[in-house]
Each structure stands twice: as C-alpha cells, then as structure tokens.
Amino acid sequence: MIGIVGYGSYLPRYRIKVEDIAHQWGKDPETIKRGLLLKEKTVPGIDEDTITISVEAARNALKRAGIDPREIGAVYVGSESHPYAVKPSGTVVAEALGIVPDVHIADYEFACKAGTEAMFVSYSLVKADLMKYAMGIGSDTSQGAPGDALEFSASAGGSAFIFGKENVVAEVLETYSYATDTPDFWRREGAFYPLHGGRFTGQPAYFKHIIGAGQAILEKSGFKPSEFAYAIFHMPNGKFPLTVGKKLGFKKEQLEPGWIVPLMGNTYSGSSPTGFSATLDVSKPGELILLVSFGSGAGSDAFIFKVTERINEVRDRAEKVKDMLENNRIYLDYGQYAKFRGKIIMAE
C-alpha cells in the first residue's frame, strides 16, 4: 500500500477582511462577497514566508507520521513565492527538519498546482522503490496587485504530505495529470505582481483543465461521484470550485470540509492541498477522497485517496486546519496589511 503516512498544515494568524480591501479601492464589499464567496483571507506575518510556512506545515506532518526525519529521501517544495530566485527553499526546509544531507531536494513551480506536483513526484519515487519516504509541500505567500481582483483572495498558508508504504493514513488509488499551454495567468522574471487574462482565466483555463482532469480520473478509476465521501477542487475563489463540483456530479456536502476558501482565501500552491488536509481532519476509515488541483499556464493534477484506520490514531497529533482558521485570528487594517506585504515604498 502506497500513500500518505503523515500530513500537516500551517496558516498564519493574521487576517484581513474583504470589507477593508474593498473600502480601500472604493468597491462595494457586498458585491465582492456575493460574487467571489469570500469573507476574509490569511496574511503572512512580517517574518513569515514560503519557507517558514513550509517548515511549520512539515513539522506537523512529521508529528502525525511519527517517523525519523532522516528516513525521508526527498523534500520538494511547490510554490510561486519562493523567497529566492536562485537558492532553493527546500534546502532550508530540509535543514530545519534535520533531513540533510542524504536527501534529494527540489523546488517546483507551476502557478497554483506546484504543491500537487511535489506530491505527485514524492508519491512516484516511493512507488518506484527509490526511497522509503518522500515529502511534498505546497506553500505560498500569494501575490496580488493592489486594487486587482486577486487582492481579495491572494493569501498565505501551506500543507505538507509525507508519502510512504508503511503505516499509511490515506492510500493513493489513482492519479491523473492534464496540461496544455494556456496563457491565463503569469508573472515575468523580475515582476513583483502576476498578471492575468481576466475572464480568460475561467472557461478555457480553470474549468477546462480541472474538469478535464476530474472526468479523466473518474473514467480511469471507474468510480462514480456518489462513491466519494469528499472532493476538493482548487479554490481561486469560493464560486469556481462549487461550479466544478456541480458539473462533475458532486453535491455541496461532499465539498464542504475542504471548501475553506471563504475564510482562508487562495493560498495558491497551498490551496487544494490545505483543503485536502482539512478534509483528512474529518475523514473516517474507508472513505474515498478526490483531490484536483489547478495551476495556471495551465494544468491539473488529480488524486484519488482511500482513508485507512490509521487516521484515527494520527489526526489529533497536530493542530487541525479548522482550528487554525477559526482560532486566534489577528485582524489587520489595509495600512497594516500593505506594510506586512511590502506594498509601501520605503526610503533607501
């Protein structure tokens, strides 16, 4: 049996409400909230970035796995906000976890699906018997330009998954990936904020790929939507994943535990992985979970997991996503948020 032996997430404590961003730019908050189904989003602390979020998520995954970190043969960090352009995030993460030096490390980038890429490669290496354990992380401190629609959703957080063959919490039953060249969202080298194609990011990008991957994995596996306890689709806003769920034949109740975007925002590479982590937090042995990511550019990775008895043993070893989302929140106004996100030009 190959699957996840430990999982963990981390969300910063800071938040900004949709009202505060809308007020800043003279927009109607109720229209935004109704249109995007968002209430607030996470904001990284002034001393947090993709690396610190990855370390905290990975520490939670290790607590649940209960393994010696030195047995992990690969550490992959998927993000579109790696702090360095040249120097891997993964080396800092692996060093902090005590995994170095006998380890393969790489950073992944594919817009919002870099996290599931890291998961897919980790799973594949374990399946190929090249290593006992491999860790895939999806983590981001997402960028959104001031005044842009993305600013209402771009948030911070991440999740880590350790794959192995022993003491599996969620077995991987099937995987499928779907990708084309689609210029829906991009950030050129050296540019601070990403740009996007507006409505073009919907039908030809998000919906085409995520539905394409979803339909293909259902066909490949032979499972029907009704056989799944839960499904998670990438969450650029609140509305898109609900639309995808409906089109693929899932009910809203199946999406609910992983549909954390109204309070979390879009954590880009950490979005669907953290929705999956929140779903594992409430899942029961024997339940099937469908996870489909989406990354602009564009592509989707799909996984089918079957939860094992071990979930009951490891679930409470680390903080759950719902608790991170709902407890100990510190709210920022727009000025504080702009300072935290480096949006204010300071004197040299």
Partner 1 sequence: MPSPRYWRETPQRYRLEAAKCKQCGKISFPPRLVCLGCGNKDFDTVKLSDKGKIVTFTTICVAPTQFTEEAPYSIAIVELSDGVRFTTQVVDCTPEDLEIGKPVKIVFRKIQEEDKTGIICYGYKAVLT
Note whether 156 binds partner 1 by CB under 8 A.
no
Closer residue to partner 1, CB minimum distance, 97 or 211: 97
**Which one of 56, 82, 112, 287 is the catalytic residue?**
112
State which of residues 48, 184, 281, 287 lies at the interface with partner 1 (CB under 8 A). Answer: 48
State which of residues 92, 150, 169, 172 lies at the interface with partner 1 (CB under 8 A). Answer: 92
Query: Is 19 annotated in the active site?
Result: no
Note whether 332 binds partner 1 by CB under 8 A.
no
Query: Is 189 annotated in the active site?
Result: no
Minimum distance from residue 52 beta carbon to partner 1 (Å)? 5
Minimum distance from residue 14 beta carbon to partner 1 (Å)? 8
Note whether 106 binds partner 1 by CB under 8 A.
no
State which of residues 2, 96, 248, 282 lies at the interface with partner 1 (CB under 8 A). Answer: 96
Query: Is 234 annotated in the active site?
Result: yes
Closer residue to partner 1, CB minimum distance, 97 or 229: 97
Residues 240-299 that bind partner 1 (CB under 8 A): none
Minimum distance from residue 172 beta carbon to partner 1 (Å)? 29
Note whether 55 binds partner 1 by CB under 8 A.
yes
Q: Residue for token digits 């594992």? A: 280
Minimum distance from residue 348 beta carbon to partner 1 (Å)? 10
Note whether 46 binds partner 1 by CB under 8 A.
yes
Q: Catalog residues that contact partner 1 under the rule CB under 8 A.
A: 13-14, 45-49, 51-52, 55-56, 59, 83-84, 92, 95-98, 330, 339, 346
For the annotated catalytic residues, the residue numbers are 80, 112, 234
